[in-house]
Structure 1
């Protein structure tokens, strides 16, 4: 009770603090590119087609968010992939966001929602001034969410390197946080290894850099979406498989990814699920027990994957071909990995459990999971 009171008090003090900052105009305002600079389009935009079952699920996801900007049941338009050639920007190395004049550029932060919740908008990080007057610079970095989050790295950040690889011909320096995780550096360097004109420069998070010539690659995915055009996901998948020397001849297996060691969104009745899954040959794994290379190999070899919603499901992107069941608490249902599966052609089934408690721990309907197992694998192992 005392802990909850302290948490509520902290939130209220935080809120009052930021209101005071707004009154003294501390926050920078934001704007859109609106035709500034030269825009190079790599691919046109297009509309995705959904089955009725997919639309129903996406509508359910949006309703759990009070129909925020995630209602893809109304239509999901894959935006054009573009590169913006800009003049005279200020690059904020703690987020990857840029400013033009005194305003933050929304397109550099993915969306207004992401931008206004980022450290570029409301943070006191000490930023040391620098200036790059010669040369051309770029970035794929995406706010502080991508510090060490595989979902935001592989879905939001790294795919932007595809645009650089396909459009940039002249020498360019890519700015990247020097404290990036080893798997981030490894995958970025591997994917760009054949593009010698793109040099990666690792810098600290405390730079506010005035840059004369800056290339801004668009984001490939949209907010709340993991969908990537097949050409992009194929490029990314092959690059990551090769960079980690994934073995492609192992026998296939089936895995259940447990979150019982996580701090939240755990399956309360997991001990009822496990015997059912094991009857159908599923191996129970905890991602925390494996190196990242071994996680990728596990997913590559999986012909079926069952898991509660969580960032670890980003590794679906690196399965060769798999059937996927994602378990959701009913209170907040997210379509990110359904849309990821849509882009790579995997069969996806959501199972929605109880609403979940304050930390999203929830109960999964065992009978519904068993029905899926029986229909998908008629013969038990």
Structure 2
């Protein structure tokens, strides 16, 4: 039988196909440390993603092999309940995308050897002939529709997760967690579950080079990203001190501009964003899980503003406030001056959060691949 090697990858190298979900860029950015470690440990990595994800990853990881895999392209509402309703109405579209992923993978495997698949929340990327890892911090999913709906969705969630070989959870097991019940439910999937402690592409802060009073990091799907940006800009113009705004638009490039006292970046590559966060006294951002992991790794004070209608973000923000790891306020009630005053009085209990356990999980995975190839 002819060797399946469409991309001319050396035979001795383990080949990993990695694909992150495209709901915002958080799933993509949290895969960056995983990709770095796979490369460090001698793997060839093929990234399956859409054009927006490729634009971001190419800045951080030039020279990798990319293949196009269509995203979900979900639409969000302008209000909380509008978003919840629109996501429910798009369930058939989600199921079609999952089936399309499955079909795409079966075709791809006919032309390229793959020793392992790593899927960040893409349910269709599993194959009975190839070990497959599923990454998620949501073993228990908050739907925003009450506990009966949450339990039903968890059952359906596990049914799909159990089709994979292993589940990686980017959080701690037990107490003092980042995602609370979402990552630490009473019942786990039936496949092996490994807790990674967290995933962040950022390096721990050392010294502050150019202090920033306030850093605002925008992210997430439209139209909510733009709605929050417009809400903030009106209020930031009145804010004294040095303020930096990162718009979260990687396709538009870095492109810095200064408007009054605000320095604005369309996009900040990892190194720059790492530096900005380390220099910031306070960060305002969404409570997207990847952003949360970055903030906690660096031990930064933050004001988290959940995306309206995203029950997961609302839960994570409330959980972190209860743990005194972040202060939170809803977008509907957001007033910059009041939020800053409240954050100034909030009893943050922060310290840098080590996030290196994923390297051990990757090492185990590669050992399994090598043993399988030798047998």
Instruction: Give the greater-gyration-radius structure (CA).
Output: 1
Output the TM-score relative to the length of structure 2.
0.41
Q: Which has the higher strand share?
A: 1
